[in-house]
Amino acid sequence: MATAIWNDVVIAESEDTVIVEGNHYFPVDSVRTELLKGSDTTSVCPWKGTASYYTVVVNGEENQDAAWYYPEPSEAARQIAGHIAFWRGVEVVV
């Protein structure tokens, strides 16, 4: 079981994460999406494609662009379609 926590609040929890480059990608249905706010930030990975970001919002505090996902991952990264990963102080406990 992998659990993503920020500010002592569980953001995501799943036994079915996909690990890519050391990051746990959580299925969307295991993420408390009410704690995510859309962001205009994007980045490009040469082999996964273009990532989009969410800001994590817990108890009125924001962690800018602390979650990311690939809306249209490349064929090589298709296993992370429909998944969200975390960083920037979000602790993932296994």
For 22-52, how does the pLDDT look when each residue is reduced to its tens digit (9 = 90+)? 999 999 999 999 999 999 999 999 999 999 9
Q: What is the mean pLDDT of residues 76-83?
A: 98
Q: What is the DSSP letter of 76?
A: G
Name the amino acid, one letter, at 6: W
Q: What is the 3-state secondary structure (H, E, C) of 23-50?
A: EEEEEHHHECHHHEEEEEEEEEECCCEE
Q: pLDDT band for position 3 (50/70/90)?
A: very high
Which pLDDT score is estimated for 22? Answer: 96
CA distance 25 to 15: 11
Name the amino acid, one letter, at 73: P
Question: Where do the domains of the chain lie, and which CATH numbers do they carry?
Answer: 2-93 (2.170.150.40)
Which pLDDT score is estimated for 50? Answer: 98
